[in-house]
């Protein structure tokens, strides 16, 4: 069973999307330099289908994407929730931010539009760093297409303004 601690509307995690980020608890990755250590504990409320519906509906149609942030201890549950979302909210894009280096074999990429893989390593930086080990993939035809460089272009455009 997935649990979530909080949610937020975010604009930078998924390019060109207004994303409802759902922060899942019980993270086993415990990355050094993690900015969300409060998500390491098994805490929060159960994230079931009714809760997801309520969270989405509370945004009054303004979100274009829902991102499950974490859930690495239960990839099969993350996948199950994504499959349910795909069926019940076909126009909503679905993302998963995982701290793992590799995609679990329990995950069907067809249930997602975006998947971020990789632990945060302070010496390599976040996605906006060209040295990062983290990767954001757009799922195209069930295959992962690396789009991480879009963060570098956005960073360069911000610096040059």
At residue 63, the pLDDT reads 96
What is the residue range of 142's domain? 3-160
Strands lying side by side in the sheet with 3-10: 45-46, 3-10, 19-24, 65-69, 93-97, 114-117, 135-140, 143-146
Number of domains in the chain: 1
Specify whether the CB–CB gap between 123 and 102 falls below 8 A.
Answer: no
C-alpha–C-alpha distance, residues 161 and 149, integer Å:
19
| pLDDT tens, per residue, the chain with 161 residues | 999 999 999 999 999 999 999 999 999 998 888 888 999 999 999 999 999 999 999 998 899 999 999 999 999 999 999 999 999 999 999 999 999 999 999 999 999 999 999 999 999 999 999 999 999 999 999 899 999 999 997 655 554 44
- The CATH number of whichever domain residue 144 belongs to comes to 3.40.50
CA distances from 116 to 32, 88, 146, 148 (A): 18, 23, 9, 9
| Of 143, 73, 87, 155, nearest in space to 114 by CA | 143
Residue 26, phi then psi, degrees to nearest 5:
80, 30
């Amino acid at each position: 069973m997935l649990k979530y601690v909080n949610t937020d509307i975010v604009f930078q995690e998924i390019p060109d999307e207004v994303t409802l980020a759902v922060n899942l608890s019980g993270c086993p990755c415990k990355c050094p330099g993690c900015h969300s250590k409060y998500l390491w504990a098994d805490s929060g409320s159960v994230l079931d289908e009714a809760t997801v519906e309520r969270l989405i509906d509370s945004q009054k149609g303004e979100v274009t994407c829902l991102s499950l942030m974490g859930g690495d201890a239960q990839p099969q549950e993350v996948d199950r929730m994504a499959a349910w979302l795909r069926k019940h909210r076909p126009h909503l894009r679905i993302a998963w931010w995982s701290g793992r280096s590799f995609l679990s074999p329990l995950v069907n990429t067809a249930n997602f539009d975006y998947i971020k893989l990789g632990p945060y390593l302070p010496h390599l930086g976040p996605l906006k760093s060209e040295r990062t080990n983290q990767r954001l993939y757009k799922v195209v035809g069930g295959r992962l297409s690396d789009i991480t460089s879009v963060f570098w272009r956005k960073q360069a455009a911000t610096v040059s303004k």
